[in-house]
């Protein structure tokens, strides 16, 4: 192995990868050099490579302890998990609750400090994270709803679904259908619009993953709303009338959801509400929230205030403000204190309504409640990328290598975590992120959970195929993830679809992290390639019929998605060929449903076939079964079509019935079709093993 390859391996950077059995692809040398540079390692010349290798070796030999040690409780021996120590080195653990103890197998769960003192006088300390051996398994099987919150408009929302709509849905589903959870799209803060550029509607390219977007607030549920008087009350009434017109445009006049228009109205309303003084109890609660939010909240609020002045891309801000710790930025905190406080206040209001939605879910008897979604990364111009520059790799984007689904590979425009920076900080940025997301959740879905092991880094300006894999300490990443989930008494669901390297699913299952299984992808790939019968499915998963990136079940069963992809220019083959292949695939699944007795009286109509799909999911051993809410009313339109931008209204469609007529939350929950589907599923979940055994 050459020096560059050794240096790359030392920092977890791949110099080749295997896209399939028996095939190896070499990574371009310029990619390896660029990725190492993003990790703070100069490999630009042979001499630089030699010096970097020497420096790495010297640091490794001089280091007494690694910066972070992550253990699994009752399984890992702290001493055995460390590199060789000089004989006679004394180890001590300072626990997070202020206690002290010797390292051993019975260390308490938490984030502690490990201290080492060597006989030669050297001393060191490192973060010691003790994670649960595995997360607790779900308490029985459960079914729930999956919804894109923005698409769920009630007769009271302001042009897009909000947190009060979410609370209503959760309360209804828990009490009426026996549902155990509601899974959501990411509610992270978006990068705001600027000039002629609209806000990116994708919930997977957020400004910050640490805070929820106040666009989801229900204005009338802010307590200070009741105390508006005089001209302020009149101005609020005019805003409410404009909001009603915006809502009716979406629900009755075929308008798309306009996030920016919604936020413009809500922002004006919130400016009015902020002028109402907080009562003593509310003030005390707000102050407590500020204390809990600390530096992260202050940074985010300051970014929002500066974005109002200089635009939402911090990389183009005046000199000094691009550094969150500069003297000029410190002065800006004081100069714009009122706007900083405004954005802190927005975060507090949003957090409170999120908490109420989770309480509505659990009060309705849901075993899990809300399932929040963690996007894989953040927008490079946004709040987190500004505040966490030391933890993110500049000039790099997460993506995916070329595969059978995308021959060119993918570049998502999201800067990745630096694994070395995470370790040096005791994984604090990741811990804090998870703790905030889990505060009002019964479970967390982790998008592209394979990123806990490795991520495909693409240098800025390079095509996606010219990226490479960078390895993360999966034991540490999963340890942090399971520790924070354990503290919150929450489950973790990993989105493990697509290309998954060997051993990943087994490692996740061993830690109690559930996977994701989607009906149309579950085939006997090791055998005849036919649809996998219920008995062949794994139990440690969320089983679904579709996702936000796939056609609805009605569209899939009718072949509508093939025609849509043809119209959008996304088919890689003639339309006739694609239709024939799609029809053959559908026929295989419908034949299996019929053999299992899930389609009595033949194949029936569309509604019967959709119900058969969910009966099939109930017949698998999956612990969780998710119902895509649009399936309840026969919506045929996908919420997102990957590979499109302006060609399709991604993330901007309200939930609609089979004819494309938008449905309000009230109409949806009164739908006989939705009631029949959920009642049927609830009954099927009561005895799923009978069909599973029949299929063996």
Enumerate the H helices of 495-597 as residue ranges.
504-510, 553-558, 560-567, 575-595
Give ∠ CA 264-269-270 in degrees, rounded to 5: 100
CA distance linking residue 17 with residue 25, whole number of Å: 5
pLDDT > 90? residue 79: no
For residue 53, give the 3-state DSSP assignment: helix
pLDDT in tens, 257-268: 999 999 999 999
CA distance linking residue 310 with residue 77, whole number of Å: 52
Beta-carbon count within 10 A of 288 CB: 11
> Which pLDDT belongs to residue 430?
98
495, 449 contact by CB (below 8 A): yes
CA distance linking residue 624 with residue 143, whole number of Å: 6
Q: What DSSP state is assigned to residue 177?
A: I
Enumerate the β-bridge partners of residue 493: 445, 514
Place of tokens 């495909």: 456
Beta-carbon count within 10 A of 300 CB: 25
| Structure token pair of residue 279 | 């009562």
Q: What would the mean pLDDT of 205-227 be, rounded to a whole number?
A: 98
How long is the chain? Answer: 696
Least confident of 90-99, 238-247, 402-411, 564-573: 402-411
Beta-carbon count within 10 A of 87 CB: 7
CA distance linking residue 102 with residue 448, whole number of Å: 38
Q: What would the mean pLDDT of 417-443 be, rounded to a whole number?
A: 97
> Which pLDDT belongs to residue 500?
87
pLDDT > 50? residue 694: no
First-to-last C-alpha distance (Å) of the chain: 49
Least confident of 133-147, 227-241, 263-277, 400-414: 400-414
Q: pLDDT over 70 for what percent of the chain?
A: 98
| Structure token pair of residue 368 | 């899990």
pLDDT > 50? residue 688: no
Enumerate the H helices of 438-503 as residue ranges.
474-487
| Structure token pair of residue 312 | 């939402």
pLDDT category of residue 418 using cuts at 50, 70 and 90: very high
Give ∠ CA 208-214-215 in degrees, rounded to 5: 105
Which of 21, 22, 17, 20 lies closest to 405 in space, CA to CA?
20
Beta-carbon count within 10 A of 573 CB: 11
Give ∠ CA 691-694-696 in degrees, rounded to 5: 120
pLDDT in tens, 24-71: 999 999 999 999 999 999 999 999 999 999 999 888 888 899 999 999
Q: What would the mean pLDDT of 456-483 be, rounded to a whole number?
A: 97
Q: What would the mean pLDDT of 75-86 be, rounded to a whole number?
A: 80
622, 543 contact by CB (below 8 A): yes
145, 182 contact by CB (below 8 A): yes
Q: Mean pLDDT over all residues of the chain? A: 94
pLDDT > 70? residue 431: yes
pLDDT category of residue 1 using cuts at 50, 70 and 90: low
pLDDT category of residue 687 using cuts at 50, 70 and 90: low
Which of 262, 175, 171 lies closest to 215 in space, CA to CA?
262
E strand spans, 95-167: 100-101, 110-117, 123-131, 142-147
Enumerate the β-bridge partners of residue 404: none
Question: 559: alpha, beta or left, given left = phi > 0 and alpha = psi -120 to 50?
Answer: left
597, HSE (Cβ side, Cα atoms, 13 Å): 9
pLDDT in tens, 85-100: 899 999 999 999 999 9
For residue 400, give the 3-state DSSP assignment: strand
pLDDT category of residue 692 using cuts at 50, 70 and 90: very low
pLDDT in tens, 340-357: 999 999 999 999 999 999
| Strand pairing class (541-544; 515-518) | parallel
pLDDT category of residue 364 using cuts at 50, 70 and 90: very high
CA distance linking residue 128 with residue 113, whole number of Å: 5
For residue 470, give the 3-state DSSP assignment: strand
pLDDT in tens, 125-179: 999 999 999 999 888 999 999 999 999 999 999 999 999 999 999 999 999 999 9
Radius of gyration from C-alpha coordinates of the chain: 26
| Structure token pair of residue 29 | 């040398």
Which of 109, 55, 64 lies closest to 82 in space, CA to CA?
64
Crossing angle (nearest 10°) for helices 259-274 and 230-252: 160
CA distance linking residue 126 with residue 522, whole number of Å: 44
CA distance linking residue 411 with residue 399, whole number of Å: 4
Place of tokens 């989770």: 358
CA distance linking residue 581 with residue 181, whole number of Å: 35
E strand spans, 341-467: 369-374, 396-400, 410-411, 443-446, 454-459
For residue 626, give the 3-state DSSP assignment: strand
> Which pLDDT belongs to residue 104?
81
Give ∠ CA 561-564-570 in degrees, rounded to 5: 100
Enumerate the β-bridge partners of residue 468: 457
pLDDT category of residue 696 using cuts at 50, 70 and 90: very low
Q: What DSSP state is assigned to residue 462?
A: S
89, 117 contact by CB (below 8 A): yes
Query: 219-252: b or e for each residue (b if 16 or more CB lie within 10 Å)?
Result: bebbebbeebeeeeeeebeebeebbeebbebbbe
pLDDT > 90? residue 202: yes
Q: pLDDT over 90 for what percent of the chain?
A: 87
């Amino acid at each position: 192995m050459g020096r560059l390859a050794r240096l790359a391996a030392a920092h977890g950077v791949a110099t080749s990868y295997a896209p399939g059995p028996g095939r190896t692809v070499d990574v371009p040398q310029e990619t390896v050099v660029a990725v190492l540079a993003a990790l703070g390692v100069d490999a630009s010349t042979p001499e630089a490579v030699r010096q970097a290798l020497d420096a790495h070796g010297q640091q490794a030999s001089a280091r007494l302890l690694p910066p972070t040690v992550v253990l699994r409780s009752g399984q890992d021996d702290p001493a055995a998990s460390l590199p060789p120590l000089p004989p006679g080195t004394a180890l001590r653990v300072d626990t997070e609750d202020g206690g002290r103890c010797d390292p051993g197998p019975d260390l308490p769960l938490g984030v502690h400090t490990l201290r080492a003192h060597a006989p030669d006088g050297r001393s060191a300390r490192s973060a010691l994270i003790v994670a649960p051996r595995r997360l607790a398994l779900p308490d029985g099987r459960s079914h729930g709803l999956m919804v894109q919150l923005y698409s769920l408009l009630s007769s009271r929302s302001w042009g897009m679904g909000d947190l009060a709509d979410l609370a209503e849905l959760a309360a209804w589903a828990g009490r009426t259908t026996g549902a155990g959870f509601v899974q959501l799209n990411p509610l992270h803060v978006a990068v705001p619009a600027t000039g002629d550029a609209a806000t990116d509607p994708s919930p997977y390219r957020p400004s910050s993953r640490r805070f929820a977007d106040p666009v989801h607030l229900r204005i009338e549920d802010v307590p200070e709303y009741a105390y508006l008087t005089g001209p302020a009350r009149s101005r609020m009434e005019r805003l409410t009338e404009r909001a009603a017109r915006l809502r009716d445009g979406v629900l009755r006049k075929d308008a798309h959801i306009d996030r920016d228009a919604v936020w413009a109205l809500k922002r004006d309303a919130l400016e009015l509400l902020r002028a109402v003084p907080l009562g003593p109890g509310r003030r005390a609660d707000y102050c407590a929230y500020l204390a809990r939010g600390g530096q992260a909240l202050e940074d985010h609020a300051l970014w929002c205030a500066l974005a109002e002045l200089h635009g939402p891309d911090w990389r183009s801000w005046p000199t000094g403000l691009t550094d969150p710790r500069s003297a000029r930025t410190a002065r800006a905190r004081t100069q714009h204190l009122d706007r900083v406080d405004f954005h802190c206040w927005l975060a507090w209001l949003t957090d409170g309504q999120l908490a109420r939605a989770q309480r509505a879910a659990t009060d309705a008897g849901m075993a899990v409640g809300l399932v929040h979604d963690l996007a894989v990364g953040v927008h490079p111009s946004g709040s987190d990328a500004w505040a966490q520059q030391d933890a993110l790799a500049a000039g790099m984007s997460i993506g995916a290598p070329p595969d059978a689904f995308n021959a060119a590979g993918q570049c998502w425009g999201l800067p990745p975590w630096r694994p070395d920076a995470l370790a040096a900080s005791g994984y604090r940025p990741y811990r804090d992120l998870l703790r905030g997301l889990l505060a009002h959740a019964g479970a967390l879905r982790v998008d592209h959970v394979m990123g806990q092991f490795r991520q495909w880094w693409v240098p800025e300006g390079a095509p996606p195929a010219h990226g490479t894999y960078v390895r993360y300490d999966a034991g540490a990443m999963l340890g942090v993830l399971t520790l924070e989930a354990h503290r919150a008494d929450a489950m973790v669901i990993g989105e493990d679809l697509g290309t998954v390297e060997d051993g990943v699913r087994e490692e996740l299952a061993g830690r109690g992290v559930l996977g994701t299984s989607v009906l149309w992808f579950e085939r006997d790939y090791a055998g005849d390639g036919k649809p996998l019968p219920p008995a062949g499915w794994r139990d440690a998963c969320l089983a679904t019929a579709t996702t936000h990136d796939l056609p609805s079940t009605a569209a899939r069963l009718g072949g509508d998605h093939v025609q849509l992809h043809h119209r959008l220019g996304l088919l890689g083959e003639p339309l006739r060929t694609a239709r024939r292949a799609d029809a053959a695939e559908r026929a295989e699944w419908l034949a299996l449903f019929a053999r299992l007795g899930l389609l009595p009286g033949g194949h029936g109509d569309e509604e019967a076939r959709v119900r058969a799909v969910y009966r099939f999911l109930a017949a698998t051993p999956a612990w969780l079964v998710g119902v895509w809410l649009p399936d309840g009313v026969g919506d045929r339109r996908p919420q997102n079509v990957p590979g499109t931008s302006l060609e399709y209204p991604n993330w901007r469609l309200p939930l609609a019935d089979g004819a494309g007529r938008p449905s309000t939350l009230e109409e949806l929950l009164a739908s006989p079709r939705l009631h029949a589907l959920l009642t049927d599923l609830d009954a099927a979940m009561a005895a799923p093993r009978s069909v599973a055994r029949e299929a063996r």
